[in-house]
Structure 1
Amino acid sequence: MFDQEVRLERLLARHRDAQIVEALPGRPALIRRDQILVADHDASAAEELVRRWYDSRHDEHGVTRLRLRAPAKVDVCELSATLAGEGRHRRLSVSPNHIVHGQPMWWSGPADLPRPSAPIPAPEATAHRDVSIAVLDTGLSPHPWYEGTDWYMEQREEVAEVLDADLDFELDAQAGHGTFIAGVLLQHCPTARILARRVIGGDGVGDEVDVIRALSWLKHQGGADIVNLSIGCYTFDDRPSPVMSRAISALGRRTVVVACAGNSGSDRPFFPAALKAVIAVAALDSGDRAWFSNYGWWVDACAPGVSVPSAYVRFDGPKPRVNGLDPDAFNGYATWSGTSFATPAVAGRIAALAASQDLSAVEAADQVLDPHSSPTLPDLGVIIL
């Protein structure tokens, strides 16, 4: 198990504007200091209300980010709650800029380190229709399974993964995460067309605003049949961010969004997975809940998430051989554990059914998640094997 406090210290050291907040005792969240996010149509009203602390306004794709003056020392969680309004019904769509992240054991990403694997046979494509799957993650590295496809050639430069951003000759904590997820998807649906977007770095850290910007980009690109989000966060008040909720809703009812349930071994709602419009996926280990997997009433499905094999990056780190094996020499294949990798198994199953039976993604998801056709587990949802 990783030392979570050490990991958190490294995150805070690298991201100086990151802040831990604990509006609810025992339920911490990570946010960007002195920033709030507002839905476009509420931006002017919110800007006027925060005028006394106001520093600058940044209109992003699909969201407005308001920066507050640091000397004012504004509690952005309290401010967001005040602007949104008390009770169950919100006045303005406003939220702190939550940090979405995936460092090992920090709530959304892998539950352990990747391990080198022998080559895995390439998925065999069949004559089915194409299904588009958006992967909002660390990006994509070239891999024999897809580097010759037209969908990869169209986007390879803008989505390239950064494997060693800090130049310490070691893979960053979550480098290769997006490539691994793409491999799991292709194993289940070889004809999938993957639309990649980099929303977190190789260290596994990104912003809510980055995800919203990517969702807006996806909408203006014509959307996708399925969106895979193997990232997420806890929110300061354990309620869904209204800004993120709007961005996902804007994709429309014909898009299926699948997201990981997180790796804290907790029933605390994890977002965006816990949104009603999103399929939340937990991880299984030999038919039971994996020890690290989140669970709860908000989880819709579960799939194997321990020692999952998939495509990976090529990289040789500095560690010496142990018993004749090099623990950080990767030749394009690996095994990895986490709800992050159970999620594309479910997304891939939905895509495969849609492709093989010429169904919409929504129709395919209804069939895959039908509790009358597949067994279920309490707090884990439908079992997808």
Structure 2
Amino acid sequence: MKVTTRGGLRQSTAIAVAACVTIGMGGTALADELTPDPVAFVLTTAGDAPTVQQLQSTLPSLDVQSVTPLGDGLASVEVSARTSAAAQAEALAASPLVTAATPARRFTVARVPSPVAGVSPWYGEQWDLWDGASTKRAGGFGVDAPRAWTRTFGRSDVVVAVLDTGITPHPDLAGASVVPGYDFVSQTPGVLTGDGDGWDADPSDPGDVCSELGSASTWHGTFVTGEIVAQRDRVGVTGLAPRVSVEPVRVLGGCGGSEADTIAAIEWASGGSVPGVPANAHPAQVLSMSLGSDGGDCSDALQTAVDDAIARGTTIVAAAGNEGTTMANTSPANCAGVVSVVATTRQGSLAVYSNRGSGLVEPSLAAPGGSDADPVIGDIWTSTGAFTAKGNRPAIGTDVGTSMATPRVAAAIALLLSVRPGLDPASVMQRLSATASPFPSTSTCTETRCGAGIVDAGDLVGAKRVLLPTTSATITGAARVGGRLTATSGTWRPAAKAAAYRWLRDGRPIAGATGRRYTLRPADAGHRITVRVQVGRAGALSAASTSPARRIAR
């Protein structure tokens, strides 16, 4: 991702990046309003986070209500004064204990689900993994999952942290490797915790209903988690990396989550130290963040957390947003070093809702996010609209958005790290770009708008190419006893050559019939004869095609 702008002093509110219709979240910019009530800010500090008393001693014009350490050199504060938020930010930044201050934003999720009743195998409908119905190219414009699986399904020592609404029990996740996570949703103004408390060790999703938006609970974290590790067990859907581990990190509650909580979660999930929080026993190599704000540049505090995670070897993947405009104002996707993801359709074009690159910020790459006609299918819970899981049940549903595209990229990176352990984030970014599938000539995507291409998990992990028939094998010749039949191998993409033949009578191999030509025998009369042709190509997996049957006259 190319970034030419950085953080500054500003106030903004956040929106969701998880739906086909993105809804702006409540609140307005506070830069010109007087704010006698406490206002939250995120800070980068000159050393350890100061105490309330230490910070207050440098801020005679402000009343410091609280200071919460978020990590090394990071903190959130609440202050009050009868001045504007912009003036308060300037006063904070002038303190010798503070290096940068930004009004804290809200990160939220909003979506429009179209539930599909019941839990049943839906892999055949998961076009975003591999579109077998595509006539445009082999596998369509999905992520090339089956070819990646010829190399790896992932390893459990590769951990993907899902920073989202938390996790719920689901049959698709029953056999998945889920390591202990954490709940970073605090009692922040405008955010409903749902579980009645603050930071704790339980990342379960109690629901994220928001009366401010008129929205029911989304169970968004479960959907995202399923896109990564839903099991290949003939139940529900299939995740792209079913054998890696996931770490649920809850940062979104009712009506969203705070920027400060998200910063702390990035630090903790990547193996950093957060005061008051137990050390993470399973630091993640990948962070999947299907969330964001539309409040401007990446803040100094958020960029610091991103930089810290990258320095620890963690790759951060973030959604570009769903406003149908430039992603330059969407954080954390616009932070330097982040793998930013736009959404594409089944036809390989930019989704109408997806944010896109501009001259200021370009996305890293694209991934399938779906459309109204072809949504992404995944794991949900039915929603009662209440802050409780009671009465809800697991189900399969559909969704669209850059939220759906992001975990596919995170999972692809996890597969890469399963075959190339220890690869640093810069190398991961380079390989993503080098192996991405080009956009089709009819696409509305360009490199500036959509990045390097559509993520290709098969090429990313170095899997051999798959040979796909464009026409099947055929049989020519007289279909009577004594007649001579000749096999053709059909046509393949990419081009391939026949390597072996096997003639079949009523589907069973005929002894000794392994050449391109076969002379019909008395035993063939009245039976159906077919030929199976195996083809090959250097650097590709072998493949086979069986011809239509010929019935032999008696």
- TM-score band, normalised by shorter chain: 0.7 to 0.9
- CA distance 1:74–1:174, shift in 2 (3 Å): farther
When normalised by structure 1's length, the TM-score is 0.76
- CA distance 1:280–1:174, shift in 2 (3 Å): farther
- State the 1:317 CA deviation: 7.7
Match of 1:245 in 2: 303
Is 1:380 paired with 2:407? no
Tell me, in whole angstroms, the C-alpha distance in 2 between the residues paired with 1:155 and 1:147: 19
Match of 1:116 in 2: 116
Match of 2:244 in 1: 192
- State the 1:66 CA deviation: 2.3
- CA distance 1:3–1:312, shift in 2 (3 Å): closer
Map residues 345-364 of structure 1 onto 2, 5 A cutoff: 345-358=408-421, 360=423, 362=425, 363-364=427-428
- State the 1:93 CA deviation: 2.1
Map residues 4-23 of structure 1 onto 2, 5 A cutoff: 12=26, 19-21=27-29
SS of the aligned residue for 1:64 comes to strand
Is 1:217 paired with 2:268? yes
Is 1:95 paired with 2:99? no
Structure 2: gaps spanning 5 or more residues:
1-18, 124-144, 184-200, 230-238, 274-279, 387-391, 440-444, 457-554
- State the 1:164 CA deviation: 6.6
Is 1:58 paired with 2:85? no
- CA distance 1:164–1:234, shift in 2 (3 Å): closer
Tell me, in whole angstroms, the C-alpha distance in 2 between the residues paired with 1:291 and 1:194: 30
- CA distance 1:36–1:315, shift in 2 (3 Å): closer
Match of 1:133 in 2: 160
Map residues 248-267 of structure 1 onto 2, 5 A cutoff: 248-253=306-311, 254-267=313-326
Query: What amino acid is the match of 1:160?
Result: S
Query: What amino acid is the match of 1:113?
Result: P
- State the 1:46 CA deviation: 6.0
Looking at CA atoms only, which structure, 1 or 2, has the larger radius of gyration? 2
Match of 2:46 in 1: 41
Contact 1:34-1:74 at 8 Å conserved across structures: no
> Among 318, 330, 351, which residue is 1:290 paired with?
351
> Among 207, 217, 223, which residue is 1:180 paired with?
223
Query: What amino acid is the match of 2:116?
Result: P
Match of 1:161 in 2: 205
Give per-residue Cα distances to partners, 1:255-313, cap 9 Å, x unaligned.
10000000000114111101111011111112111110000133111111111111222
Contact 2:208-2:252 at 8 Å conserved across structures: no
Contact 1:38-1:46 at 8 Å conserved across structures: no
Contact 1:147-1:153 at 8 Å conserved across structures: no
- State the 1:74 CA deviation: 2.6
Give per-residue Cα distances to partners, 1:210-254, cap 9 Å, x unaligned.
10121232224153110011111022xx22210111112112331
Tell me, in whole angstroms, the C-alpha distance in 2 between the residues paired with 1:74 and 1:257: 37
Match of 2:377 in 1: 309
SS of the aligned residue for 2:173 comes to coil
Tell me, in whole angstroms, the C-alpha distance in 2 between the residues paired with 1:213 and 1:120: 38
Q: Name which structure has the greater RCO, CA cutoff 8 Å, separation 6+.
A: 1
Query: What amino acid is the match of 1:162?
Result: P
Give per-residue Cα distances to partners, 1:361-382, cap 9 Å, x unaligned.
63444312226x5325421112
Percent of residue pairs identical: 23
SS of the aligned residue for 1:309 comes to strand
- CA distance 1:127–1:138, shift in 2 (3 Å): closer
Tell me, in whole angstroms, the C-alpha distance in 2 between the residues paired with 1:51 and 1:82: 9
SS of the aligned residue for 1:188 comes to coil
> Among 321, 339, 347, which residue is 1:279 paired with?
339
Contact 2:38-2:65 at 8 Å conserved across structures: no
Query: What amino acid is the match of 1:309?
Result: I
Match of 2:498 in 1: none
Query: What amino acid is the match of 2:120?
Result: P
Tell me, in whole angstroms, the C-alpha distance in 1 between the residues paired with 2:409 and 2:58: 43
Q: Going by fraction, where is helix more abundant, 1 or 2? A: 1
- CA distance 1:22–1:305, shift in 2 (3 Å): farther
Contact 2:209-2:218 at 8 Å conserved across structures: no
- State the 1:347 CA deviation: 0.9
- State the 1:331 CA deviation: 4.0
Tell me, in whole angstroms, the C-alpha distance in 1 between the residues paired with 2:182 and 2:92: 39
- State the 1:119 CA deviation: 2.3
Contact 1:120-1:310 at 8 Å conserved across structures: no
